[in-house]
Homo-oligomer: A and B are copies of this chain.
Amino acid sequence: ARIDLNCDLGESFGAYTLGRDAEILPYVTSANIACGFHAGDPSVMRRTVRLALEAGAAIGSHPGLPDLAGFGRRNMDVSADEVYAMTVYQIGALEAIVRAEGGTLRHVKPHGALYNMAAARADLAEAIAEAVYRTNPALTLLGLAGSESTRAAERLGLNAAHEAFADRGYRADGSLVPRGLPGALIGDAAEAAARVVRMALEGRVSTPEGEDVPLRADSVCLHGDGAHALEFARRIRAACEAAGIEVRPAGGA
C-alpha cells in the first residue's frame, strides 16, 4: 500500500505571513503551492518552491479564484471558460518558477471554492482537467475522491489522484459530512492517523453511524496552519510508516 501526504503551502502574501511551511514540509510528499490569485505572490512562490525542493517534496500548482480578500474560499459565478483560462495561467506561472529553480512541476490541486465547485460541477471539473491536460498532460490532478473532478481527469486520460481527509467525517455515499453536523470533524490526532492507515491499507472508512464504506485515498491532505496541524501531520506520517505504507508523491517526484 502507498499514500501521498499533500499540503497547501506558499499562502503568504507580501508582508503577510500565513502557514508554517518550513515546519510542516518534513511530513509532506506533495507541496501544493499557491499561485497568486487566492494567496501567494511571485516572490513568495519562488521562496516556497526553494523550500519544497530542499525538503524533497513533489511540487504542484494550487490555483484558486481571483479573490485575495476572501482567500479563494467564496464561491464565485465564474464561467467554465474563465476557469479554464485562470487555471492554465496559474499552472504556467508556477511551472516557470519551478523550472527556473531547476525542478519539475508534478501535479495540480485546485484551492478552496474552486476545488469544491469542481468537485460538484462537471462543467468546471472539465475546464480544469482540460487546462491541466493542454498545459502538460504528464501532470497529476488531485481532486476530491470520487467526485466530478477526478471523473473529468480520468475521462481525459490524466492521472487522477483521489484525495481524502484525515480530519473529516464521511457519509455512506463517500461524501464529506457537512461542517456543523455531528461527526464532521475528527479532533483527535491518533484517531485521524488510524483512519488514514485504514484508508491506505483497506480503502475503507467508517461513518459517524458506524457503517463501513469504501473510500479511495491516493493522497491525504495535511494542514499547514492551525494549532494542531503539526501534531496531526507528525502522527499521520509516523502511523503510515509504522504500518509499512509507502509514503510517496501521487504524481511522481
Residues of A within 8 A of B (CB): 13-18, 36, 39, 41-43, 45-46, 66-71, 73-78, 81-82, 84-86, 88-97, 99-100, 113, 131, 134-135
Q: How far is B88's CA from A207's CA once the two chains are assembled, in angstroms? A: 45
- How many copies of this chain are found per oligomer? 4
Q: How far is B39's CA from A16's CA once the two chains are assembled, in angstroms? A: 10
Of chain B, the residue at the smallest CB distance from A86 is B42
Summarize A's interface: helix, strand, loop or mixed: helix
Q: Is the CB of B14 within 8 A of A69?
A: yes
Excluding A14-B70, A66-B69, A92-B96, 10 further A-B contacts by CB distance (< 8 Å) are: A42-B82, A42-B85, A46-B84, A66-B67, A75-B76, A75-B77, A76-B77, A88-B100, A92-B99, A95-B96
Chain B residues lying within 8 Å of A69, measured Cβ to Cβ, are: 13-14, 41, 66
Q: Is the CB of A74 within 8 A of B71?
A: no
Q: Is the CB of A131 within 8 A of B100?
A: yes
